[in-house]
Structure 1
Amino acid sequence: MSFSVDKQTLDDLNILGKYQSNSIFSLFNHVKTRGGERMLEDMFKHPLSDAHQINHRSTIFQYFEKINIEFSLDPILIEGTEHFLSDSSGSKRAAFTQGIRRQALHMIGLNTEFDLFNSGLELTIQFINKLNEFLHVIRQNNFPHLNLQIEKFDELYNDKRLNKILSRKKDQQLGLIPVIQADYLIRQNYNQQIREILQFVYQLDVYICVAVVAKKKGFCYSNVPYTEQNTLSITACRHPTIPKAVANSITIDEQNNVLFLTGANMAGKSTLMKAFGINIYLAHMGFPVAAESMIFSIKDGIFSSINVPDNISMGYSHFYAEVLRVKQIAIEVSSGKNLVVIFDELFKGTNVKDAYDATLAVTSAFSKYHSCSFIISTHIIEVGQMLQQNSQNIQFKYLPTIMEGTVPRYTYELQSGITEDRQGMIIIDNEKIIDILVETAKIGSK
């Protein structure tokens, strides 16, 4: 079973976005090769749902962070090799004939095609030699998870016929027969093997890049215990793209599967929920997370309702769009999946009475699904007070506001309980909105 996530959730958490500087993808996208970028993008689009695969990938990232090496292969060599292989002539007879033709063109002074061919061959030979030097560091560390790929490369590199070409002196020109032999070996006999080696190189590019980001940002690596229990514990969870973000610890399990979050506007509720969701997503990719430690059981997917837009073309109001989103997630939850669900300010598109009733009813109904993990935020603190009386598996947290005179200060530090903060009118008064309107009205009446 694959990890379920939809576009709304990806947008809410700003996961993808190749050309968005603040996306989570962009945070990690410092790869050196185009193939590496394609591979990184594929990892982001396809989170893992198998504990062994997640732990395996995480172990590789940790290894590269530990040995602390740079990706030193020249992308020009890699792209030149890609192009040279893609220009394969099909059968060996056709390759031989084309090699003779190119050499003949070279001999009569028509050098363009031959020079392009020879340049691609030289780039490929340089690539293989440079990769052998690069892998020397990894060989020294004897990392079992990469041994198979390295053995495949070593088998290719040590082929006697190919090694004659690889080990020649730099200023030694290849004649007709060596050129044809090299073409056979590289583009015919070993085409598939070298393509697989290129994929390995792209993996190395991603592994090293992600490890560098993890070390620079102080990220940790999550652990997936091999259990079916609903377990999710993040120590010092923070938003990965916010510098010096305040960290908070969150634990959700089968006995306390709902975190009911309250707090004033600007207290940090949305940021906390996004940080939580992003780290869940990264953890299921096997990527480092913005936390001090994280333990989690495998989830079947993640769904959020944070920035739900209205749909004018469909005639949907903001409230109806919210209702449809909750319905969609309810269908997923009721299907028996083990999901992470994030609701930020349920039913904010309707009046306070309806929002109270709907938030209370929906939260109570969702809380019965103990295999799922929920974070639900609201401004309507009376809902929390009612849930406290009737629910045993809901934990209540809030983000406080500290008033310094008439100026609010936000700690962004999670506290147990339900907030009593109601500073909306104080903030409006601080911005002097009423004064501006009254003064303008006086001027207009004169």
Structure 2
Amino acid sequence: MSFFADKQTLEDLNIPGRHKNNSIARLFDAAVTAGGRKLMDGMFQQPLNNADEINKRSSIFQYFTGLGVAFPFTGEEFGVMENYLSSGGGSIITVAAGAISKKFLQVAAQDKDYELLNAEVCTTIELLNRFYNFVNQQPTGQSPYSDQLEQAKSTFADPKLSWLLAERGAKQLPLLKLIKYDYLLRTGMNLQMQALTQMIFRLDVYIAVAGVAARKSFSYARALPKDANVLTATGLYHPAVENAVGNTLTLQQQCNVIFLTGANMAGKSTLMKSFGIAVYLAHMGFPVAASHMEFSVKDGLYSSINVPDNLDMGYSHFYAEVLRVKTVAQQVAADKDLVVIFDELFKGTNVKDAYDATLSITEAFSENRNCFFIISTHIIEVGDSLRKHCNNFRFTYLPTVMDGLIPRYTYTLTEGITTDRQGMIIIENEGILDIIRGGETASATNKTIINKQ
């Protein structure tokens, strides 16, 4: 079993999709080889839920971040080697017959297949030599990558590859050597070549992720066993937001709920998405947008941020919200250790029902101390009620500072429950009432004031 996040959660956090604008997968899409991209896709699809495995992978990424090496191949040239090695070989007789036939056709009909085969074998020899050099240039001694280095060195030390270094730089091979090398590379040492290719794919991912971490100044989270039941992220921010403000979030068994309030545009949704993304990436062993993070592994992550209605099913927005909360409740009731993010519960119904539902649902969820929750709402009275009889909540808000009639947002998490009520001020600043009453000039003036801030 791996760490789980369902489709709704992945879409809320904009995690999957290398070709999708501003997705987290695209942020890390720096692999050079097709195999490396496929391997990274697999990591995004199946995060880990074992602390030792997470820390092992994370330590390799961190090692390459510090090493600062470049991937020793281009995608185009490695594609030649990758396609050649995967095209299959055959017995020595089959390989010899095929090469001789291609040679004959080259002479008799100026066919290009013999020349192409020769080029593929020479390219593969060149890239294997380049990987050999890379392996032997790495620092000796114990490191998170040392086991893989030793595996590669062992493969290159195989007597069947004793000819490899001598053929470095070859551009054209005579027929007998071509037959011999083609047979060894695609048949005689097929398993060894597959192993080396997989090592190169992994190296591609290590260097790609490490490069993103270095450029973005991301850090690496430390995974703790599940029973520690803690999560701390310092200087946490959204990885796709430039010049983002960092915040500190801490959850533990004795305080497993963060109750978040604040005005619209104060940054609540962005903070919650930042948190969810960091949790997901941390379970992948990937770097996170924070100055420091450590966490107990969880079973999964669920969010309710952008829950759509479903006209085909006849679901209103409110009913879709209810079904989403029901899904999460079933997972929590199944005794799973989860991270749950609820942004503006029950905003699709009237204020009285939203108050009652948010209060009862939040209080009921919070009783499961093995799960961590971040719950936001505009209904600040819910927080006042929860604070009176719940001792496992951290009440926080994102402030709005008024510069005259103009709101300014600090994006800095503050202890307590907001008292900000600037909705009507913003409406008045936009001149909506003036527009309705025919005063469009006043609206334009107010917009000019806001845009200058």
The alignment's TM-score, normalised by the length of structure 1, stands at 0.95
Give deviations 1:114-168, integer Å, cap 9, x for gaps.
1121111111111101111222332x24354333433333334334453325413
**Cα pair distance change 1:111/1:149, threshold 3 Å:** farther
More moved, 304-313 vs 152-161: 152-161
Amino acid at match of 1:7: K
Alignment partners' CA distance in 2, 1:171 and 1:337: 58
Give matches, 1:368-387, under 5 Å. Answer: 368-387=367-386
**Cα pair distance change 1:175/1:370, threshold 3 Å:** same
**Cα pair distance change 1:367/1:126, threshold 3 Å:** same
What is the deviation of 1:417? 0.7
Give the structure 2 partner of residue 66 of structure 1: 66
Is the 8 Å Cα contact of residues 78 and 198 (structure 1) preserved in structure 2? no
What is the deviation of 1:198? 1.2
- 2:217 is aligned with 1:208: no
Amino acid at match of 2:127: F
Give the structure 2 partner of residue 444 of structure 1: none
Is the 8 Å Cα contact of residues 149 and 197 (structure 1) preserved in structure 2? no
Give the structure 2 partner of residue 2 of structure 1: 2
Give deviations 1:396-422, integer Å, cap 9, x for gaps.
001111111111111011111100111
Give the structure 1 partner of residue 429 of structure 2: 430
Amino acid at match of 2:292: S
Give the structure 1 partner of residue 299 of structure 2: 300
Give the structure 2 partner of residue 37 of structure 1: 37
Give the structure 1 partner of residue 318 of structure 2: 319
Alignment partners' CA distance in 2, 1:440 and 1:74: 62
Give the structure 1 partner of residue 128 of structure 2: 128
What is the deviation of 1:95? 2.1
Give the structure 2 partner of residue 412 of structure 1: 411
Alignment partners' CA distance in 2, 1:172 and 1:236: 53
Give the structure 1 partner of residue 153 of structure 2: 154
Identity of aligned residues (%): 50
Give the structure 2 partner of residue 254 of structure 1: 253
**Cα pair distance change 1:5/1:169, threshold 3 Å:** closer
More moved, 161-170 vs 129-138: 161-170
Alignment partners' CA distance in 1, 2:103 and 2:147: 38
Is the 8 Å Cα contact of residues 118 and 173 (structure 2) preserved in structure 1? no
Give deviations 1:356-382, integer Å, cap 9, x for gaps.
000001001001000000000000000
Give the structure 1 partner of residue 336 of structure 2: 337
More moved, 418-427 vs 183-192: 183-192
Give the structure 2 partner of residue 77 of structure 1: 77
- 2:177 is aligned with 1:178: yes
Alignment partners' CA distance in 2, 1:89 and 1:137: 32
Task: Give the SS at the match of 2:335.
Answer: coil
What is the deviation of 1:193? 1.3
Amino acid at match of 2:12: D
Structure 1 unaligned blocks of 5 or more: 442-446
Give the structure 1 partner of residue 52 of structure 2: 52
What is the deviation of 1:440? 6.9
Is the 8 Å Cα contact of residues 258 and 393 (structure 1) preserved in structure 2? yes
Give the structure 2 partner of residue 197 of structure 1: 196
Structure 2 unaligned blocks of 5 or more: 441-453
What is the deviation of 1:38? 1.1
Give deviations 1:11-45, integer Å, cap 9, x for gaps.
00011121123111111111222211111111111
Give the structure 2 partner of residue 96 of structure 1: 96
Give the structure 2 partner of residue 363 of structure 1: 362
Amino acid at match of 1:46: Q
Give deviations 1:205-237, integer Å, cap 9, x for gaps.
111111111111111111123351311111111
Is the 8 Å Cα contact of residues 63 and 144 (structure 2) preserved in structure 1? no
Amino acid at match of 1:28: F
Task: Give the SS at the match of 2:4.
Answer: coil
Alignment partners' CA distance in 1, 2:363 and 2:375: 11
Aligned residues: 440
Amino acid at match of 2:392: N
Alignment partners' CA distance in 2, 1:362 and 1:54: 33
Is the 8 Å Cα contact of residues 261 and 375 (structure 1) preserved in structure 2? yes
Amino acid at match of 1:392: N
Is the 8 Å Cα contact of residues 395 and 417 (structure 2) preserved in structure 1? yes
Q: CA RMSD in A?
A: 1.7
Alignment partners' CA distance in 2, 1:18 and 1:172: 36
Alignment partners' CA distance in 1, 2:80 and 2:346: 55
Amino acid at match of 1:384: G
**Cα pair distance change 1:172/1:273, threshold 3 Å:** closer
Alignment partners' CA distance in 1, 2:406 and 2:274: 26
Give deviations 1:241-271, integer Å, cap 9, x for gaps.
1011011100011111111100000010000
More moved, 71-80 vs 216-225: 71-80
Alignment partners' CA distance in 2, 1:14 and 1:141: 40
More moved, 339-348 vs 162-171: 162-171
Alignment partners' CA distance in 2, 1:98 and 1:346: 68
Alignment partners' CA distance in 2, 1:408 and 1:148: 56
**Cα pair distance change 1:299/1:227, threshold 3 Å:** closer
More moved, 67-76 vs 345-354: 67-76
Give the structure 2 partner of residue 17 of structure 1: 17
Alignment partners' CA distance in 2, 1:121 and 1:172: 9
Give the structure 1 partner of residue 166 of structure 2: 167
